[in-house]
């Protein structure tokens, strides 16, 4: 192979496929290789395990790149939160707050006032700020102004703003308020029971859709390439990738942690249960697809647990069957015991499988070696953290920010057809 590529991408996980698509659209010459003979890399083991926010970053990338034409989405039926061993629908607006059994009468009124503040908040309109600078005021301070109880803060912070532990309470409140607004806007988009959407035929469709995009823009794909070895020059800069005795030259490499194990470190472990059932999750209004967030404090844990279910309605299981996932950052070496609070909510289970996988983050200096390594997927069941990593990597690789100010209605046609 005599030609030199701008970028060689190793692994066809979702992050790598999104980047491959974005870089190809930018006009870079991309070669994409995978040691497996199928698409998906690490995210096939995640297959079915994440939803996306209807107005969130991933949907914006899908529209920005026109990948929506390769996919059909369907809204997810329900969004729930766990409190004191029971599950409740997540209220997301001031009207829903007044009806929610999660709160007593006086707390409902306080929560309603807070929801109205968030709904009316406009970063560019000082009148809506109520004399609070959310770049400096912490979440804890903002919430104390409204006198909300701990259990209310729990579901707002974890099930609406989608923080996976309580460290957000001492950070500036702007991001928290924006996350709440994203949830409410995504919910309003479908006038349905949740702010989430999910591709028909499952998440395995996503990497393939971005792979198609890359190919349309001249990207080259090679699957089933064993022993992809990254080659460096004397200064430690990447010069190419060798597989089966042939070396493809390149200026930069993008890959998942498994391709450069000496340039990453282990930072944690995710525990997961995969369950096959013949009924929907109890107490979810017979929803065919649902996300339940179990906040850390309710379980005496350091981070949240996620429960997620989908079914034949999304074409991911045979008729009459449901697939549920329970996932969490592992805090012990016993996934069965650790995931029990989530599994206990499922009712009768036909089959259950447990697994754990290690989480890695890069330790290299990409300025020195021109290697751009993605972080492993975390335990969250929504895509916002995945896309933040992709956007940061895109900026490091290209030196520019990804502009995601798109017309969100462009995705609705595909969603409504579903």
Residue 409: per-residue pLDDT:
62
pLDDT beyond 80 at 250? yes
Helix (H, G, I), strand (E, B) or coil at 193: coil
Task: Specify the higher pLDDT residue, 105 or 406.
Answer: 105
Element housing 283 (H / E): none
Provide the pLDDT confidence category of residue 417 given band limits of 50, 70 and 90: very low
Distances (CA, A) of 353 to 173, 196, 212, 335: 39, 25, 32, 10
pLDDT beyond 60 at 46? no
- Poorest-pLDDT segment among 137-141, 193-197, 314-318, 338-342: 193-197
- Poorest-pLDDT segment among 221-230, 232-241, 277-286, 350-359: 221-230
Tokens of 77: 């039926």
What sections of 121-267 are H helices per DSSP?
139-146, 150-155, 174-190, 205-216
Residue burial 93-113, b: 16+ Cβ < 10 Å; e: rest: bbebbeebebbeeebbebbbb
Distances (CA, A) of 76 to 50, 161, 191, 194: 11, 18, 11, 6
User: pTM value?
Assistant: 0.85
pLDDT beyond 50 at 152? yes
Residue 331: per-residue pLDDT:
94
Q: State the Cα–Cα distance between residues 252 and 16, nearest whole angstrom.
A: 13
Q: State the Cα–Cα distance between residues 308 and 328, nearest whole angstrom.
A: 12
CB 168 within 8 A of CB 186: no
Residue 399 is classified by DSSP as S
Residue 200: CA atoms inside 13 Å, Cβ hemisphere, count? 13
Residue 172 is classified by DSSP as B
Q: What share of the chain is helix, strand, coil (3-state, %, to 5)?
A: 40, 25, 35
Residue 223: per-residue pLDDT:
83
pLDDT beyond 80 at 414? no
CB 377 within 8 A of CB 46: yes
Provide the pLDDT confidence category of residue 407 given band limits of 50, 70 and 90: low
Residue 188: per-residue pLDDT:
81
Residue 2: per-residue pLDDT:
66
Residue 228: per-residue pLDDT:
92
Tokens of 216: 């349309």
pLDDT beyond 70 at 411? no
- Poorest-pLDDT segment among 39-43, 180-184, 251-255, 265-269: 39-43
For the stretch 85-104, pLDDT in tens is: 999 998 867 788 888 899 99
Task: Specify the higher pLDDT residue, 38 or 154.
Answer: 154
pLDDT beyond 60 at 47? no
Residue 150: per-residue pLDDT:
92
* Mean pLDDT calculated for residue range 328-332: 93
Q: State the Cα–Cα distance between residues 131 and 187, nearest whole angstrom.
A: 28
Tokens of 72: 């059909």
The position carrying tokens 């906040």 is 295
Phi, psi for 406 (deg, rounded to 5) = -120, 165
Q: State the Cα–Cα distance between residues 65 and 219, nearest whole angstrom.
A: 14
Residue 247: per-residue pLDDT:
94
Q: State the Cα–Cα distance between residues 177 and 184, nearest whole angstrom.
A: 11
Task: Specify the higher pLDDT residue, 364 or 200.
Answer: 364
Strand intervals (E) in 24-103 = 30-33, 52-53, 73-75, 78-83, 86-89
């Amino acid at each position: 192979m005599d030609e030199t590529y701008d970028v060689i991408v190793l692994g066809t996980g979702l992050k790598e496929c999104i980047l491959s698509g974005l870089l190809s659209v930018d006009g870079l010459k991309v070669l994409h290789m995978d040691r497996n003979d199928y698409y998906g890399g690490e995210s096939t083991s995640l297959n079915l395990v994440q939803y996306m926010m209807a107005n969130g970053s991933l949907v914006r990338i899908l529209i920005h790149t026109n990948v929506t034409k390769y996919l059909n989405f369907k809204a997810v039926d329900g969004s729930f939160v766990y409190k004191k061993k029971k599950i409740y629908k997540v209220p997301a607006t001031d009207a829903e707050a007044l009806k929610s059994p999660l709160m007593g009468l006086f707390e409902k009124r306080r929560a309603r006032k807070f929801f109205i503040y968030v709904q009316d908040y406009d970063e560019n309109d000082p009148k809506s700020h109520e004399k609070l600078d959310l770049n400096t005021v912490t979440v804890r301070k903002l919430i104390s102004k409204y006198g909300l109880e701990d259990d209310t803060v729990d579901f707002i912070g974890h099930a609406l703003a989608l923080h996976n532990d309580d460290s957000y309470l001492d950070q500036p409140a702007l991001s928290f308020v924006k996350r709440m607004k994203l949830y409410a806007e995504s919910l309003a988009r479908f006038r349905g029971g949740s702010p989430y959407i999910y591709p028909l035929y499952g998440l395995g469709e996503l990497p393939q859709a971005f792979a198609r995009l890359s190919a349309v823009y001249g990207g080259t794909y090679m699957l089933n390439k064993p022993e992809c070895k990254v080659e460096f020059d004397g200064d430690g800069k990447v010069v190419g990738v060798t597989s089966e005795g042939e070396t493809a030259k390149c200026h930069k490499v993008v890959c998942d942690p498994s391709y450069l194990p000496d340039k990453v470190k282990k930072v944690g472990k995710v525990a997961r249960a995969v369950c096959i059932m013949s009924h929907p999750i109890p107490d979810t209004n017979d929803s065919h697809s649902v996300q339940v967030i179990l906040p850390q404090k309710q379980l005496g844990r350091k981070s949240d647990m996620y429960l997620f279910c989908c079914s034949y309605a999304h074409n991911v299981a045979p008729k009459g069957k449901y697939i549920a996932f329970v996932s969490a950052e592992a805090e012990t070496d016993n996934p069965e015991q650790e995931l029990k609070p989530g599994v206990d909510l499922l009712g009768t289970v036909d089959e259950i499988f447990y697994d754990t996988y290690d989480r890695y983050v890069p330790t290299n200096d990409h300025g020195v070696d021109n290697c751009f390594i993605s972080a492993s997927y975390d335990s969250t069941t929504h895509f916002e953290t995945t896309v933040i990593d992709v956007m940061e990597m895109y900026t490091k690789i290209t030196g520019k920010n990804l502009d995601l100010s798109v017309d969100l209605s462009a995705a609705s046609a595909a969603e409504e057809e579903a």
